[in-house]
Amino acid sequence: MGIEIERKFLVAGEGWRAAAEGAPVPIRQGYLATPGAAGATVRIRRAGAEAFLTVKGPGGLVRAEFEYPIPPGDAEAMLALCTTPPLAKARWSVPHQGHVWTIDVFESPASLAGLVLAEIELPAADIDPPLPPWLGAEVTGDPGYANAALISRGIPR
């Protein structure tokens, strides 16, 4: 079974930009299923020239995740089936003390424009990586900051 172990934080300021590597990857993603009784989501993502179908289970730090590459044309057709417009974001990679952080700068819908989140995927739940100074509050356990929730409800207040 696929497992995702991930911590998520708000980003405070622009300090991460100086350490960002390469150009950002443009991402568009939409949801064919959002958390229901079982808490699962089914996501379609275009990341640059690549495309993926992802099924995620419920959870915070640790949850089931199954991700499969799909043809980009299929992804575009599936994105058109989503009940809410896809979100768009630019994804940056930022190394910090032996770990690589993912920074997502949300662009659309308008209700998410300007939101910046940092994530780190970990090989085990008991790993406590050094936190960069540009991190804000941790939102790992806040379901309102899941992308599926953001696209349907906007930024938690």
Give catalytic residue positions: 31
Structure tokens at 48: 């640059």
Please say whether the beta carbons of 132 and 18 come within 8 A. Answer: no
Cα-flanking dihedrals φ and ψ of residue 40, to 5°?
Answer: -85, 150
Please say whether the beta carbons of 82 and 30 come within 8 A. Answer: yes
Secondary structure of residue 23 in the 3-state scheme: strand
